[in-house]
């Protein structure tokens, strides 16, 4: 399958007096994973549904490889959609769930079996073991993979995923995120992934579009958005950050860049350790400076601080990002 470029231009969506999307323009490159990241109610799922054709925009246009698809029905857009609630058919077995889109398209039976088995293999479900199972016989992670296989079996140019792993535990989620990256590489599909979870976005994305209040605030690679946030909201929402008032705006310093008892620093404060949380190889530390809590993350090895300790903290100017108010 070949991915297409998705371009949304000036998309506005109103529900009565409520504006869900406010003039959103975004270019989604072909054959990459682009994540729409933001808090609940920011408009990311609405934008996904407009790309899918499940919601019409109040204003604006949607293009696939330069072709205007704004008024095209979902079934004519060559998309696969994985909903948060999966929408699997409990009365059908795994094979028939995955085959559903092919049967609607009247694909010959021999081809149906070939493509269903291909899709199940692709998501790591052995067809000989899983094809005849009922949906209620599967774990949550296995059901997620069936939903992805059903979306992939029609060989979509665009795969849309709406918080598909939101209800899974951490380890299963991490495994499926890695599998999703592999699937995208193997199929070449354009993937648009919606989540409110910054860790998911970091793990899976080529590019991230951070959203809030119906607008896109910043677009870039995970590294670009993390290292060079363009606002205090992006800095705080995407990764841990210390956001402090400065001249003409805010300064942003990431917790891992804060130094404790530094030999050299451009900015230094006296501080008291408020709390130390053990998280495997890392310590998450809170230090109080003039009534303000500064978050610090350090490797556990060689770091011996405890609540009540008086320390000096600081940072280098090169590690500071200045953002406007």
Q: In this predicted model, what pLDDT tens digit does every residue of 155-172 receive, in sequence order?
A: 999 999 999 988 888 899
| 156 touches 78 (CB < 8 A) | yes
What digits encode the pLDDT tens for the residues 11-57? 999 999 999 999 999 999 999 999 999 999 999 999 999 999 999 99
What's the pLDDT score for residue 240?
Answer: 92
pLDDT of residue 67: 97
Beta pairing partners, 311: 271
Q: What is the pLDDT of residues 256-290, one digit of tens each?
A: 999 999 999 999 999 999 999 999 999 999 999 99
| Model pLDDT for residues 198-246, shown as the tens digit of each residue | 999 999 999 999 999 999 999 999 999 999 999 999 999 999 999 999 8
Residue 1 pLDDT > 90, yes or no?
Answer: no
Domains along the chain with CATH numbers: 6-227 (3.40.50.300), 249-323 (2.40.50.100)
pLDDT score, position 322: 94
123 in Cβ contact with 161 (< 8 Å): no
HSE-up (13 A, CA, CB side) for residue 115:
22
63-73 as b/e: b if 16+ CB within 10 A: bbeeeebeeee
pLDDT digits (tens, 9 = 90+) for 108-148: 999 999 999 999 999 999 999 999 999 999 999 999 999 99
What burial class does residue 287 get, using C-beta atoms within 10 Å of its C-beta: 0-12 exposed, 13-18 middle, 19+ buried? Answer: buried
Confidence (pLDDT) at 246: 86
Measured CA to CA, the distance from residue 19 to residue 46 in angstroms comes to 11
Cite the DSSP H helix spans in the chain: 44-52, 94-104, 109-122, 127-130, 140-152, 170-187, 198-204, 222-227, 232-237
Q: Mean pLDDT across the stretch 177-184?
A: 94
């Amino acid at each position: 399958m070949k991915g297409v470029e998705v371009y949304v231009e000036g998309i506005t969506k109103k529900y009565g007096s409520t504006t869900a999307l406010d003039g959103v323009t975004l270019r989604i490159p072909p054959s990459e994973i682009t994540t729409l990241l933001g808090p609940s109610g920011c408009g990311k799922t609405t934008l996904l549904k407009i790309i899918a054709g499940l919601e019409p925009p109040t204003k604006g246009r949607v293009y696939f490889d330069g072709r205007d698809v704004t008024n095209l029905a979902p079934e004519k857009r060559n998309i696969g959609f994985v909903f948060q609630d999966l929408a699997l058919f409990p009365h059908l077995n795994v094979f028939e769930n995955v085959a559903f889109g092919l049967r609607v398209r009247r694909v010959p039976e021999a081809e149906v079996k070939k493509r269903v088995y291909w899709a199940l293999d692709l998501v790591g479900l052995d067809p000989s073991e899983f094809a005849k199972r009922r949906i209620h016989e599967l774990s949550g992670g296995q059901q997620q993979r069936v939903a992805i296989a059903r979306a992939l079996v029609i060989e979509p140019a665009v795969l849309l995923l709406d918080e598909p792993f939101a209800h899974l535990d951490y380890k299963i989620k991490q495994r499926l995120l890695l599998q999703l990256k592999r699937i995208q590489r193997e199929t070449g599909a354009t993937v648009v992934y919606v989540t409110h979870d910054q860790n998911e976005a970091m793990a899976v994305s080529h590019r991230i579009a951070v959203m809030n209040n119906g607008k896109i605030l910043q677009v870039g690679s995970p590294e670009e958005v993390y290292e060079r946030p363009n606002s205090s909201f992006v800095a705080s929402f995407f990764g841990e950050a210390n956001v402090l008032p400065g001249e003409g705006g805010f300064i942003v310093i990431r917790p891992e860049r804060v130094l404790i008892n530094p030999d050299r620093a451009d900015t230094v404060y006296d501080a008291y350790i408020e709390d130390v949380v053990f998280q495997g190889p890392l310590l998450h530390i809170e230090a109080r400076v003039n009534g303000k809590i500064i978050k610090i993350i350090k490797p556990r090895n060689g770091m011996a601080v405890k609540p009540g300790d008086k320390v000096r903290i600081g940072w280098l100017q090169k590690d500071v990002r200045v953002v406007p108010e």
